[in-house]
Every structure is written in C-alpha cells, then in structure tokens.
Amino acid sequence: MAEVTAPAGTETKPSVLIIGGLGFIGRFLAKYIHTNNLASEIRIVDKQLPQLAWLAPEFTDVCTLERFQQGDLSREHTCERVFTRPDGSTWDYVFNCGGDTRYSQDDEIYKQRSLKLSVTAAKEAARKGVKCWVEISTGAVYKSDREPSKETDKLKPWLKLAKYKLQAEEELKQIEGLNLVIVRLANVYGEYCSKVIATILCMARVYAYQKEEMKWLWTKDLRTHTVHVTDVARALWHAADWHTSGKKNWDESMGSTPIFNIVDHGDTSQGTLQKHISNIFGIKTGFHGTIVSSFAKLNLGSAVDEENDEILQPWGDLLNEAGITRPGPINPYLDNELVKDDDLSLDGTRFEKVTGFGYRVPEITEEGLREVIVSYRRLNWWPPMELGSGENGENGQATAEAASR
C-alpha cells in the first residue's frame, strides 16, 4: 500500500500539532509524519521535557527542541499561545494524544489531565478554524462483551480513564465548528510500549527467572484486543486526511461525528498471549480454576496485592544482577483495573470499509512480542535471560539483528 503524501485536492502539505506528542502514541505518530514527509510543519506539545520522556535514539530527529513546546493545554492561556503560529495562522491537523493514561487514578486527575485538556484545547481549535481534530479515545468505553463491539453498541465504561474519555467525546461533539473525528483504540503495543503488554512480558520474565508456572485469572477466552502502534500512527493520519478530503462514504445516518474503532484482525485473547509467552520464555503457562478466579473476583484487591508482593522483589533482583540502574518505564506491577474480568473486544470493520484503511500488522505474534523485548534490551531496560532460553532463541536473535539494521 502506497504511503499518503498530501491531502487530496490541496497544493500544500498540512501543518500539524500533536498534543501529548512525547507519549507512546504521539512519538510514533510524529515519526510517521516526519519519515514520510507528510506535513509542512510539525509541532509537538507536552507537559514533560524530551530529556525525561525515555525517547529511543530513532526519535531524536523527530522530537527535536525546535519542534517541541512545553505546555499544559488544560489551561486556556497556554492553548491560545500554542494554537497561534508566528505568522498568525493556526494548525491544519490537531491530534490529541494527551491525557493521563495511568490506571486507577483519582477522579480529579482524569478530570483535569484528560477531560479538561480535551475540552479546553478543542474549544480553541474550533475558534481558530482547525481543519481536523482527531480525538484519541479507548475501546474500554463499551459495555464489556465477548462479541466485538461496533461503534453503535452500548456504552458502559469499565475503566476509570474510559469514563472520562467518553465524557470528553460527548462534550467535544457539542463544540460548534469543531471538525471532529473520534478513534477508539484497542490495547496498543509495539517497541518501547509500557502498558498492558509490557506488564505481561515483565511478569513472564520473573516467572522464567523463578522457574515457575505463570497462571492467568479468568479464562483463555477473555478478549484483550490489540493493535500495533505503527498501525495506530498510520490510522490517525489516514483519519485526518480522509476527513479533510470530504469524508467519502460517510453516511449521516451513522452520526454527525465520525467515530471509528482501531483494532487489528487477530481477535487477541488471553489464550493468544498465553501461547506466545510460553514459547518465548520457555515456561509453563495456564489458568487458575473457576474456584480461584471466583475468589479473586470477590477479593481482587487482596489478590493483586499478594501477586505484587511476590513479583516485584524478584524483578528488582533481576535488574540488580544485570546492573540496570535506570530500568525505564516498564515493570511487572499489576494494577487492579488491569486484571478485571472485562472483555476489550472491538469490531474495526467500519474504519476499513468507510475510509479504505488497511492494517500492516494484522495480529499480535510471537515474533512481534520478541521485537518488543529487543527494543527494551536496546535501551538497557530489560534483564537478559541465559543463552539458549526462549527469549534468546533463533527467532529472537534474528529479530535483534533485523532491529539493529
């Protein structure tokens, strides 16, 4: 599939503002735009500084100080400053990759750092006449269901952060003049990821170190749908390009605001991840029985605390043995919300059918997870295993060599 070069029917490339541009998704989006020369200008705005963002070397030419602007866009005066360019014009495309993505935070944190940020910045975007605002939301806004949720299905957020993401969606829809597209993401993974998949990989590393069986709660059928970060970056650009080119194939019966699920074709489940983990780490994996899972459901906080007590110290020992003093943003810490008995199951048909998008990483694979581990090792975040174990097998070595090219 050929890369997009510029919006159809325009003479110049769009100017781009990425809010939360130093985050996991934001940096990959910036890299995609930069590498393919899609924008006339890229501005990255984030609360944190690049020096503190755990950026890998390949992002050095992308997240430059010339492109970076520090700022908290939940503040109106900051928004006005950021949205006004030196020549008095505004940005063509704005991608909101900002917000607090940590689990189990206080409501006030999500209200301030996610909800208020989205609404305040979007109002300024509407006033300035931004051509397209792409709001990144989460697939956890849907009612948990084993069957994949479509964009029109029942909404019942089962994560705290999803509750405020959904509220932001609703408030943005009411902003007059905002050219809005909403994308709801599955679990995003890829090189340098630090959320769900990273936690599972770190846990597996500890179980391999202790030579113990790694068991999951619930069942192998629990859906944990995924999408690769490079496809997310492509999808975000594709959505903005599609919107500004006339929203081809969009029927107003679908709603006044385009909403799309972004998810790969793999129908990822706990069983999928269990199989890959076993092969990579050379450990036995399985699931706790119904009795244990039922007990854990009634006492989830205690069960998670017990697991963390057993796994965090060995992880620290692994890091010490490997001489890793700055382990990066990854660890095996389990959050209560991370182990809920809720399916993240999305139907992504609409986005592909309406906009013509196609995924390049159609499913999560063993090789894909090995690439994630290799990325951790490149930055010295990961305690290596003994030669000959699953992580350092032939496939892992091939991945490492490929990644170094």
Kindly tell me if the per-residue pLDDT of 95 is higher than 50.
yes
Q: Yes or no: say if 39 and 85 are a contact pair by the CB < 8 Å rule.
A: no
Given this model, what pLDDT does residue 291 score? Answer: 64
Kindly report the average pLDDT of the chain as a whole number.
Answer: 90
pLDDT, tens digit, 9 for 90 and up, residues 352-364? 999 999 999 999 9
389 residue type, one letter:
S
User: In 3D, which of 260, 277, 223 has the Cα closest to residue 354?
Assistant: 260
Kindly tell me if the per-residue pLDDT of 173 is higher than 50.
yes
Tell me 124's DSSP state: H
Continuous segment of H or E residues that includes residue 214: strand 214-216
Domains of the chain: 15-188+227-263+345-360 (3.40.50.720)
The model scores a pTM over 0.95: no
Of 299 and 155, more confident: 155
Sign of CA dihedral 248, 249, 254, 259: negative
Q: Yes or no: say if 133 and 94 are a contact pair by the CB < 8 Å rule.
A: yes
User: In 3D, which of 204, 331, 330, 216 has the Cα closest to residue 279?
Assistant: 204
Neighbours of 5 (CB within 10 A): 11
Cα angle: 136, vertex 366, 263; to 5 degrees: 25
Give Cα 52 distance to the centre of its chain: 19
Tokens matching residue 240: 């903005």
**Cα 21 from Cα 24, distance rounded (Å):** 8
Tokens matching residue 35: 């590498």
Assign 3-state DSSP to the chain and report helix, strand, coil percentages, each to 5: 45, 15, 40
